[in-house]
Amino acid sequence: MIPWSRFVILAMVFLSAAACVGLRRDTPAPLARPLSQFPTTLGHWRMIAQEHFTPETVAFLRPTDYLARRYEGPNGERIDIYIGYHDAAQASGPVHSPKNCLPGSGWIELSTSQRSVKLAGKEEQVAQALYGKAEEELLFLYWFVVRDSILSSEIGLKVAEVANALRHGQRSAAFVRISLPARNNPAAAVAAATDFLNAGSDAIAEFLRPKGA
């Protein structure tokens, strides 16, 4: 027999898929402010680089708006942040699996877990992944945003999208990922990532708030 917990998860996934198929008249939810206006200074972190994706990458991801930047901390730490927002308009695609944004080409997944971090003053669960290649290691923290909800899994994302569609007639969602070298010291990388989020999570929450929300 299928365990009750697994049955509930399967039922939720099925209902989510069915609802998404049936909901064809969702109202697009544009951001109140474009991500290009995201602060270049977050506390003692400052932007040192910004990436503009190729047309092919944009066509694959199909975000309504996106941000890809590198920030540097007071001790020379460097963190990359990607924010992709999808407003459910016809030209916007769904949020892709984070697996599409994690490294390939010889990189090996060393560990995955959940981590509690403070985002905009609230303790939230986010996904954490550590990847390695030869002597290099990269730490990733990522999560999804649907209105005011923070989700750390794709199943949670789908359920939240359906609930948002039913309550508000919208299926907008965002994906946030930060990454930085672990240098064989994941604890130090986590500390730097936590410091960055303490400085920047309020701005992230503000910029991912849809217009009128």
Predicted local confidence at residue 21, as pLDDT: 41
Q: Is 169:27 a contact under the CB 8 Å cutoff?
A: yes
Buried b (16+ CB within 10 A) or exposed e, 28-42: bbebeeebeebbeeb
In whole angstroms, what is the distance from residue 68 CA to residue 86 CA? Answer: 15
- Give pLDDT, residue 148: 82
Q: What are the beta bridge partners of residue 78?
A: 72
Q: Dihedral sign for Cα 87, 93, 99, 102, please.
A: negative
Cα(91)–Cα(171) distance, integer angstroms: 13
Residue 168 corresponds to which tokens in the numbers above? Answer: 């508000």
Write out the two tokens for 108.
């090996």
* 3-state DSSP assignment of residue 84: strand
Q: Which structure tokens are listed for 28?
A: 């697009």
- 161 three-class SS: helix
Residues 20-67: pLDDT tens digits?
544 445 677 789 899 999 999 999 999 999 999 999 999 988 999 999
CB neighbourhood size of 150 (10 A) = 21
Determine the pLDDT at residue 14: 46
pLDDT beneath 50: ranges in the chain: 1-2, 14, 17-18, 21-24
